[in-house]
A = this chain, B = another copy of it.
Amino acid sequence: MKKRVNVGKKILIANEEYALKNSQFLAKQKKLCLNMISSPGSGKTTILVRTISELKNKIKIGVIEGDIQTDIDAKRIKATKAPAVQIETGGSCHLSAAQVSGALNNLPVSDLDLIFIENVGNLICPTAFELGEWGKIAVLSVAEGDDKPAKYPAIFAKSKVLLINKIDLLSIGALVDFDIERVRADVRKLNKDIKILPVSAKTGQGMADWYDWLKEAVKIYKANN
């Protein structure tokens, strides 16, 4: 088991080197990069598609799409006309910084203001691998239940923003039990600085606050780098 730990550490260290390279590249180009992490089906791609469409005259967005298999999500992004690069991990449960480094070479970075990395759908493993992003965005859909921050704390502890998605389902309260205040309280215990935004990427409810946060983050990142 000792060997396993050492090799695991080496993999993480090699990843950190690529992550540092990516973050230096992005800082030099003054491009904000956000790493979006959630369970499968929380709505990451739907959030991105709506965000790209709504902000198209204000922020130029590019996307790096991570998936185990298929380019279903990259096709959905490309339908918005935003540049997107697909990484098929072929079974791996998270993106690596080396993969992101390759993808950055295939994006028209100088034309963009903001680069989203949509990680593989997995609430656990992607949290341990820095990709060179400025910040992580966690997504939790109300259909997943309000006990998730307690059960999977790492991603909530590390993120700049938590998007609580699919709040349209709460209007049918009898079908979805989800206590937003329990989530707020559990997440605040893990991370006092996180911005918590309840949204519906489907109906648009609450999304204006997310767009405001993004516009501000792009502006501040440009000014500080």
Among residues of B, the one whose C-beta sits closest to the C-beta of A145 is B41
Contact between B124 and A143, CB atoms less than 8 A apart: no
Whether a CB of chain B sits under 8 angstroms from the CB of A141 is yes
Residue A169 is within 8 A (CB to CB) of chain B in the complex: yes
Task: Give complex CA distance A73, B145 in Å.
Answer: 12
Interface string of A166-200 (1 = CB under 8 A from B): 10110010011000000000000000000000000
**Contact status of A40 and B144, CB under 8 A, knowing A91-B154, A150-B70, A168-B175:** yes
Contacts of A202 in B (CB 8 A): 175
Is A147 at the interface (CB under 8 A from chain B)? Answer: yes
Chain A interface residue count, CB cutoff 8 Å, equals 39
Which residues of B sit under 8 angstroms from A120, Cβ to Cβ?
124
Once A7-B7, A144-B40 are accepted as A-B contacts, the answer to whether A69 and B121 lie under 8 Å apart by CB is no
Determine the residue in chain B with the shortest Cβ distance to A46.
B145
Question: Is A123 in contact with chain B by the CB < 8 A criterion?
Answer: yes
Query: Beta-carbon contacts of A8-28 to B below 8 Å, as 1s and 0s?
Result: 000100000000000000000
Does A67 have its Cβ within 8 Å of any Cβ on chain B? yes
A152 to chain B: which residues have CB within 8 Å?
Answer: 40, 68-69, 121
Residue of B nearest to A68 (CB): B152
Q: Does A58 contact B (CB under 8 A)?
A: no
Cβ contact within 8 Å between B175 and A70: no
A14 to chain B, nearest CB (A): 9
Do residues A121 and B123 form an inter-chain contact, with CB atoms below 8 A?
yes
Residues of chain B lying within 8 A (CB to CB) of residue A112: none
